[in-house]
Copies of this chain bind each other. A is one copy, B any other.
Amino acid sequence: MIKMGVIGCGYWGPNLIRNFAAQQGAQLAYISDLDEKRLNHVGLLYPAAKKTRNYREILEDPEVQAVVVATPMSTHFPLGREVLEAGKHLFLEKPMATTSEDCRALNEIAKKRGLQIMVGHTFVYTPAVRKIKTLMEAGELGEIYYVNISRVNLGLFQKDANVVWDLAPHDVAMLNHLFGADPVAVSAIGHCYVQKELGIEDVAFVTLEYPGKRLVHIHVSWLDPNKVRLCTFVGSRKMLVYDDVSPSEKIRVYDKGVDVQPHYENFGEFQLLYRSGDVFIPRLDTVEPLKAETAHFLDVIKGAATPLSSGEHGLRVVQVLEGACRSMAENGRQVALKYDA
């Protein structure tokens, strides 16, 4: 039984609380929030957990082994550091921190102290992404030409982060995981429509280049009437569409594509064959991603698993976001990405 505390009962925290509370191997010992009303509201559902407005109370309890931080992005680093320095394993919501420097600092402390960091990149744990990874590894899609992603909806407008920091971490974490690689370059163009005075981008177009010239285009926006979460993988053998908004048919594999005929003597003979084929919708497990993610964290603490979304993984996501913002500031210039060895 791993004794835990959760800091942050706002928008996302309660989902983590609910899932950790339901895990057999965990004991939800503390929940914490600065806002007393919010704390009491959530506390009502988990009367066995101690409520505290002072998160240090959690850090000072020697029996607590792990702490979950689900607070605004800007507090991830200072809170995360305190958690690690108190000798607790750390579950940090995404993005890991607001700078890669801060991420590196957290990883170093964890390494020194032999503690685990896991970042809440939930998409890595969804049945859909797991299925896509299986299909890709089995060569079903062939060589990936490019991936096109739309992740748009109306609001929620953030005041401390632009739309890239808010929405793109999902995509970058997912793609790094699927490709088993990190992008070598990024470019981005962003626009401020609603929060012009603040200079906070609410619409952005990000292009990632992964090794092997695989390109990814991501459209993120807070300004669209419909919630769209659509990823199209265009491969040399098949195409795959992942529609995360669809309740029952998240993944569709299209057995169609384009074949370049290998031999032709001149342009006149040049032929592109256009295959139209069947569509296949694989059944997915119906497990809640957060259930898999929270169980994975417990396994990681027990030494039974290596984190899929480790601090190292979280750092590289942040490096990509930093690169995207640098590119936006320079009107879309491509930025090369380098990672620590």
List the interface of chain A (C-beta within 8 A of B).
18, 21-22, 24, 44-48, 145-146, 148, 150, 152, 154-157, 159, 187, 189, 191, 193-195, 198, 203, 205, 207, 215, 217, 219, 221-227, 232, 234, 239, 241, 247-249, 252, 254-258, 260, 267, 270, 272, 274, 276-283, 331-332, 334
Contact = CB atoms under 8 A, between A and B. Distances in A.
Given A159-B270, A224-B232, A279-B280, 7 more contacts: A22-B44, A146-B223, A155-B258, A155-B272, A203-B217, A280-B281, A332-B332
Contacts of A224: 148, 232, 234, 239
A187 B148 contact: no
A156 B276 CA distance: 12
A146 B205 contact: no
Contacts of A222: 258
A33 to B, nearest CB: 17
Nearest to A270: B159
Contacts of A157: 258, 272, 274
A154 B254 CA distance: 11
Contacts of A22: 44-45
A159 B219 CA distance: 29
B226 A234 contact: no
B191 A272 contact: no
B247 A247 contact: yes
B281 A225 contact: no
22 contacts: A18-B45, A21-B45, A22-B44, A24-B44, A47-B47, A148-B221, A150-B150, A154-B276, A155-B258, A155-B272, A157-B258, A191-B215, A193-B234, A205-B205, A205-B217, A223-B234, A224-B234, A224-B239, A225-B239, A225-B241, A256-B283, A281-B281
Contact of A278 (B44, B215, B223, B280): B280
A53 to B, nearest CB: 20
Contacts of A159: 267, 270
Contact of A283 (B241, B276, B283): B276
Given A154-B257, A225-B232, A283-B277, A146 B249 contact: no
Nearest to A260: B194
By Cβ-Cβ distance, the 5 closest A-B pairs, closest first, are A47-B48, A225-B254, A279-B281, A225-B239, A157-B272
Contacts of A227: 248
A309 B168 CA distance: 40
Contacts of A156: 274
Nearest to A21: B45
Contacts of A241: 225-226
A328 to B, nearest CB: 13
B225 A256 contact: yes
Contacts of A255: 283
Contacts of A219: 148, 217, 219
A16 to B, nearest CB: 14
Contacts of A249: 279
